[in-house]
Chain A
């Protein structure tokens, strides 16, 4: 590792037009691990990350919560890293570490000063090759996960709406359960089941390693081979392929949350995979509806008619399907069904009238802004590279995604809204405060 000398004054150098592009090298190891290297010597920082293609949707329906549980369990130690030592090794070497799980994947990463790149690689390779999965680790993390659920869901205002919406939108697909899963399932799981899950999913052919920041490409390649090359390849990992029947009649649900005083009404539509062009177009529909104070829903419901405390429309983009939701909290005496009526009116407008030229230009500017900001940190770039490779199947989207947005037409926006956002295709959730027990 060479000495890195950083002068922040170096940021004064004029930048070339191509500087916005993220450059990288990628290749496969023999064991199937995909490796992506991105060099940026501006700051003495390097991120080492591994994304595994396993998430809540890969779980056994009787053992939900496994993928997220593993995110905790795989910090318990490896054959060469003692139990409870992981965090201390990272912090005593000046780094920070984190991990997160979603329906589709689990992501682990360390950010270090660049003189500790080799340490990061060693740690992630240890985690992949031989994590220690023992009863004591399982029992401890079981309690921690229960606390996380209490904190994030049970005791959290509006914390349960995701779980309720998923139950309504999905009846066959594993997206119907939540990432945090069921505490009962976790209690019932045996040590053998945990070990089998590790063997099945935590293999190099089911993962991508991304190293980004102040590195030297050739030296890094040698280190990658050193630590990851000898990890044995695993069996091919089956991918979930469950098809849902289209929603043809509106479904309604209700939920009482003891942590809130003000109710909310949520409508949700099941939309296609984030990889599809339709998903990009729906993102733009959502921007027109609710992004910014001049957006249609905000202007009408919060500003002019003063019917809503908060209102929004947003999509959750996932690998197999998407969820598109509108969310409204009433102001004062406004009824929930009146909010829905108003939101529906705006959706009908988008389905029947083309957006104006001005609105269209506004969209372009917004997405350009988003694109510029997306790649502003090494940590962010590493996560994007991993995601585009593993989940989208097209790593070049990190530079090209903006072109998809630039190519979408006003007509497409109208047509896609018409295709997916009809009342008979949706679910409605009344999210209500808990009723007081009668005295």
Chain B
């Protein structure tokens, strides 16, 4: 596999070999001389109401297009977010002189299209219909007919659309990214919701239209098979009575970056892929002196080709994704966002985050090769040339110069400025714009699959903090993850599996007595522990301090009981007696009323899948967790009131050890509020050594 750069010699060689009809395929053909480019300029005129019109004649095909662009600065609509889109949706439905149906019918009849929106509009048709196209577009834009009926319809459609996006992982990710990166009081940070759309009225739409749909900052570009003089006449005739207004100008708040890089996680329980976006804000405009260098740096890092650093790493080397890229686009009104993003399967989410940060840091700290820089510059030359095929290119360039207040020769000097960018420039601007130490890493994905590893990611020698957000960008607590239940699992099957695992229901139901001895750790103190049980519900627990003797005793003899702590003896309450009577003391499962037991979910206990059962009783419900793998009971959890406060008590069971053919958990750790008690069993005895006397 050889790819060589051609020299003049090889060119000659190729000519000779052509004659001999033998080709040396190992030589990559060299390019011919570069094509010469001349950028034309559109002709233009301005109407007295401020509308600026540009005309590009192109007679290759008998068609024409009109592009209307309103250059209004972005605004915050606040609790009426969505009024702008609704106004846009109401445009293009006929006018005060032509009903919607007649309008649509006529446009369709011509085989044309006219589409208007909040920011302007677009119309095309065969050039033979140019006059009528302009007339219809102007009429519907300047003279709209906003009816309550249409408004209600569009509002309902809006609400349906919002509903349909609820589970869309990409749109949730995008919404949260914009809100967090720009702030919720920024035009790009606010989002349209059910609530804000519901607030919008027809009067709001009218007001929005009066304020913003004005010719003062508007541009109309006409491209196609038409003559300038004709265009001037027709546009002037139909667009002159568009009234001037003055769109209100509002100051836009500054976007702020975070002080330290952090993960911002949104749980989407059905995701099979995680949407990852690393983002920071920067000031970035087309007339910045670093504009061309930044374009190049961004293209090298993640500019859409498979050659980019991000794709070479995440797609080509690791096969984690179909595509990874970065984006940095100029914005004349406010800050821009630099983003590096990808969608990857759940299992590699944490690795993908690490590698994205690695690549950003690579371009910030290491110099790119001269060859790479040369390649990228060649790509810019290529796209520039390829864009010349489209007549829209001329109008796009002219519009950009106007809107961004660029010098008139901006595009003539574009390639020259691209070629002037150095290796040092690329490194410098990477540090200026790709702020990897002040980034938000927005991740929308399936928490139960990915969060555990996300919380372990190390960056610059420290763990990256993980913060949790809901689908609307509100900070929230870390969700409790549950997994979908496999088919065929029921509360009964879980209990059956448990009995099988511990030795068989028949065997355990025949047990008469159980005795356990071991240790209990309370606040660093190790106490001797003894637990005795007698069928069906007698139990006794004794804690012995090595020096002080018995420090605690808890007893129930089937009818009554007490708790003794030191010298203080307290009888069991009526509720506790009632509960104790009904519970099988050996294995609670033997006395469960299955009609009061429901299978809740599959979740995680100590890193392993476990089925969560809910047992409803007279008091607080109890939750029992059984390992999906072994069938053993691994955790119980309930809420009890003590000293006027509600406390969660949970016990984890482990170290199942067989005695006389039955599996018992030899370690039990109970958490009660802030306190933890660990019990370790050393010995268990079945059906021996326990008498009635033990329960007095």
Chain A positions near chain B (C-beta within 8 angstroms): 1, 3-9, 11-15, 19-20, 42-45, 77-85, 87-89, 91-96, 111-119, 121-122, 125-126, 129, 139-140, 142-144, 146-148, 150-152, 154-155, 157, 214, 222, 225-227, 229-230, 258-262, 291-295, 299, 303, 306, 309, 329, 331-332, 358, 361-362, 365-370, 372-373, 375-378, 433-434, 437, 439
| Bound: A93/B28 CA distance, A | 12
| Bound: A92/B601 CA distance, A | 54
Query: Given A77-B1, A87-B306, does the pair A94, B381 have CB atoms closer than 8 Å?
Result: yes
| B251-290 to A contact mask, C-beta < 8 Å, 1/0 | 0000000000000000000111100000000000000000
Write the nearest CB–CB distance from A342 to chain B, whole angstroms.
17
- List the 10 shortest-distance A-B pairs measured between CB atoms, nearest first: A94-B382, A143-B319, A365-B111, A1-B32, A44-B35, A8-B40, A92-B375, A115-B32, A369-B111, A43-B389
Decide if B682 is an interface residue (CB 8 Å cutoff): no
B29 and A155 contacting across the interface, CB-CB below 8 Å? no
| Bound: A6/B391 CA distance, A | 13
A372 and B389 contacting across the interface, CB-CB below 8 Å? no
B23 and A226 contacting across the interface, CB-CB below 8 Å? yes
| Bound: A154/B62 CA distance, A | 43
Query: Given A80-B26, A92-B374, does the pair A366, B345 have CB atoms closer than 8 Å?
Result: no
B167 and A259 contacting across the interface, CB-CB below 8 Å? yes
A261 and B164 contacting across the interface, CB-CB below 8 Å? yes
Chain B residue numbers with a CB within 8 Å of A119 are 28-29, 31
Query: Given A147-B321, A148-B322, A299-B101, does the pair A369, B112 have CB atoms closer than 8 Å?
Result: yes
A91 and B31 contacting across the interface, CB-CB below 8 Å? no
Write the nearest CB–CB distance from B613 to chain A, whole angstroms.
13
Chain B positions near chain A (C-beta within 8 angstroms): 1-3, 18, 21, 23, 25-26, 28-29, 31-40, 57-63, 100-101, 104-105, 107-113, 125-126, 153, 156-157, 160-161, 163-169, 225, 270-273, 305-307, 312, 315-316, 318-322, 343-345, 374-375, 378-379, 381-383, 385-386, 388-391, 394, 484-485, 600-601
From A19, A121, A129, A439, contact of B600 by CB (8 A)? A439
A6 and B35 contacting across the interface, CB-CB below 8 Å? yes
Identify the closest chain A residue to B58 (Cβ). Answer: A11
B160 and A116 contacting across the interface, CB-CB below 8 Å? no
B394 and A89 contacting across the interface, CB-CB below 8 Å? no
A-B contact pairs, 20 of them (CB 8 A): A5-B35, A87-B307, A92-B379, A94-B378, A94-B383, A94-B385, A96-B382, A121-B29, A155-B271, A226-B18, A259-B167, A260-B167, A261-B167, A262-B160, A299-B104, A309-B157, A362-B108, A365-B109, A365-B111, A437-B601
Write the nearest CB–CB distance from B644 to chain A, whole angstroms.
30
Query: Given A261-B163, A372-B61, does the pair A293, B108 have CB atoms closer than 8 Å?
Result: yes
Chain B residue numbers with a CB within 8 Å of A299 are 101, 104
Query: Given A147-B320, A151-B273, does the pair A122, B32 have CB atoms closer than 8 Å?
Result: no
A12 and B28 contacting across the interface, CB-CB below 8 Å? no
B37 and A437 contacting across the interface, CB-CB below 8 Å? no
B39 and A157 contacting across the interface, CB-CB below 8 Å? no
Query: Given A14-B59, A147-B345, A299-B101, does the pair A368, B29 have CB atoms closer than 8 Å?
Result: no
Query: Given A82-B3, A155-B343, does the pair A126, B25 have CB atoms closer than 8 Å?
Result: yes
From B60, B100, B167, contact of A11 by CB (8 A)? B60
B37 and A332 contacting across the interface, CB-CB below 8 Å? no
Write the nearest CB–CB distance from B69 to chain A, whole angstroms.
21
Query: Number of residue pairs across A and B with beta carbons under 8 Å?
Result: 274
A294 and B108 contacting across the interface, CB-CB below 8 Å? yes
Identify the closest chain A residue to B394 (Cβ). Answer: A8
Write the nearest CB–CB distance from B352 to chain A, whole angstroms.
11
| Bound: A94/B385 CA distance, A | 8
B35 and A4 contacting across the interface, CB-CB below 8 Å? yes
From B26, B35, B62, B161, contact of A372 by CB (8 A)? B62
| Bound: A433/B165 CA distance, A | 12
Identify the closest chain B residue to A364 (Cβ). Answer: B111
From A19, A332, A366, contact of B156 by CB (8 A)? A332
A155 and B273 contacting across the interface, CB-CB below 8 Å? yes
Chain A residue numbers with a CB within 8 Å of B390 are 377
A365 and B62 contacting across the interface, CB-CB below 8 Å? no
B104 and A94 contacting across the interface, CB-CB below 8 Å? no
A20 and B388 contacting across the interface, CB-CB below 8 Å? no
Chain A residue numbers with a CB within 8 Å of B167 are 157, 258-261, 433
A150 and B273 contacting across the interface, CB-CB below 8 Å? yes
| Bound: A42/B640 CA distance, A | 83
| Bound: A318/B31 CA distance, A | 39
Chain B residue numbers with a CB within 8 Å of A329 are 164
B61 and A376 contacting across the interface, CB-CB below 8 Å? yes
A373 and B109 contacting across the interface, CB-CB below 8 Å? no
From B33, B40, B316, B385, contact of A3 by CB (8 A)? B33
Write the nearest CB–CB distance from A408 to chain B, whole angstroms.
16
From A3, A295, A372, contact of B108 by CB (8 A)? A295
From A5, A126, A291, contact of B36 by CB (8 A)? A5
Identify the closest chain A residue to B299 (Cβ). Answer: A91
Chain B residue numbers with a CB within 8 Å of A368 are 111, 126
| Bound: A146/B383 CA distance, A | 31
Identify the closest chain B residue to A157 (Cβ). Answer: B168
A45 and B343 contacting across the interface, CB-CB below 8 Å? no
Identify the closest chain A residue to B393 (Cβ). Answer: A8
Write the nearest CB–CB distance from A13 to chain B, whole angstroms.
7
B126 and A369 contacting across the interface, CB-CB below 8 Å? yes
Chain B residue numbers with a CB within 8 Å of A152 are 322
| Bound: A142/B318 CA distance, A | 11
